[in-house]
Amino acid sequence: MAVHDPNLLPLLLLLGLAVLAQPPPAAAQPPPAALRAGHTITSLPAAAAAPRTRYLLYDVNPPEGFNLRRDVYIRIASLLKTLLKSENWVLVLPPWGRLYHWQSPDILQVRIPWSEFFDIPSLNRNIPVIEYEQFLAESGGPFIEQIYVLQSYAEGWKEGTWEEKIDERPCIDQLMYSKDKYEYYRGWFWGYEETRGLNVSCLSVQGSASIVAPILLKNTSAQSVMLDRAENLLHDHYGGKDYWNTRRSMVFAKHLRVVGDEFRNKYLQSTDKADRTHYNEDWTQMKVKTGTALGGPYLGVHLRRKDFIWGHREDVPSLQGAVKKIRSLLEAHKLEKVFVATDAVEEEIELLKKLLPEMVRFEPSWKELELYKDGGLAVIDQWICAHARYFIGTSVSTFSFRIHEEREILGFDPKTTYNRFCGEKEKNCEQPTHWKIVY
């Protein structure tokens, strides 16, 4: 069509030039390598490509509970710190779900992000971490390039000849992964069915977490590496400064702490001001002198039942024995209320109520249970126990161990923290070890 208006010619010429100057569609050009995973343009320094980010993932033996998994996180965090001395790594937090103790019916408890239970910015003040869904978004798809299944040595170890070692070995147990028709490995992967592994091999390991570092730095160039059965690794420095930094960074999610604080105030006449348990939201700025915390006017109790009594453990008391001990502690410390965290079955709860009318428990509504889930309820119970004037727990229970640590961070006198029930037939009732906080 001819253009009759001479005034439109310059405008049309400019439009034509603009179209010619446009680059080809973005789809035709792959992005620079540095932008493909884990980087945005704004995150790159001027005139330089950022170093490649590598992703460390891990999982734990399925039967292991919430509180042992928290301990494994501390071990893996130590490994990540070792890796960061050589390369740019980030830890991918394994989603929560399908745990033995989480037995509430009619509630979906899989693919739960860490932010439901912990404060992610606090974790990031210690090591770089991301949630699994962020990893999926950054890494370009649900693929894990290399999976190492950690196992012990088939020949075991001879007493008195302990040495730290790691070797790639044939898998001892049947793999929990199977190949699909496209030769990808399928497995549990925290409930993410679309996730696939590209390579799977087994590592026999005997030693602390950082023994894996040379394998990850030298034996594989995979961008994403998963360590399955990570509980087979030991702590690098249990109870040292590095251990406590990671443990202190595991701050409970604010919404759960608020629920616990409101419960303390309403039912136990307990507030941070009166209890001398002031809390700093930035754990790096919190350094409390041991013995300064007083705690609320109540006794805190963790009474583990279920599998602990099914195994007929001698160091676990009967309900009557536990109540007898609770009564003596209430009298000794001039307290009238006792907060009880327990996994006891309904029949035992009813018996406890009869034997111990002053017992207080956090009993959620169905809506609260759906909102906080079993893991959130465990956190609330631990938070309330951590603020008690005096705490007594269950022998070798990781639930009780985590309360010990929380009270150590808050600044309680060890004598009010490291206590446990004794079994009626137990001859030597050794009390828990005091692991002193290190700053």
3-state secondary structure of 59: coil
The CA distances from residue 400 to 18, 292, 382, 396, 410, in Å, are 69, 21, 8, 8, 15
- The C-alpha atoms of residue 151 and residue 173 are separated, in whole angstroms, by 9
71 phi and psi angles, rounded to 5 deg: -70, -40
- The C-alpha atoms of residue 171 and residue 173 are separated, in whole angstroms, by 6
- The C-alpha atoms of residue 260 and residue 269 are separated, in whole angstroms, by 12
State which amino acid sits at residue 359: M
Q: Is 64 a catalytic residue?
A: yes
For CA atoms 57, 62, 67, 68, give the dihedral sign.
Answer: negative
Pairing mode, if any, of strands 165-169 and 54-58?
Answer: unpaired
Note every long-range contact of 351-355, with CB atoms under 8 Å and residues 24 or more positions apart, other chains counting: 351/319, 352/319, 352/323, 355/319, 355/320, 355/323
Asked if 387 and 275 touch (Cβ cutoff 8 Å), the reply is yes
Tell me which DSSP letter residue 218 carries: I
For residue 279, which of 401, 122, 439, 409 has the smallest C-alpha distance? 409
Pairing mode, if any, of strands 165-169 and 178-179?
Answer: unpaired
- The C-alpha atoms of residue 272 and residue 278 are separated, in whole angstroms, by 5
Pairing mode, if any, of strands 388-392 and 224-228?
Answer: unpaired
408 half-sphere exposure, CB direction, 13 A CA radius: 19
For residue 335, which of 354, 319, 359 has the smallest C-alpha distance? 359
The catalytic residue among 64, 138, 406, 408 is 64
**β-bridge mates for residue 32, sequence order:** none
81 phi and psi angles, rounded to 5 deg: -60, -35
The CA distances from residue 325 to 25, 274, 332, 430, 438, in Å, are 75, 27, 11, 16, 32
Give the catalytic positions in this structure: 64
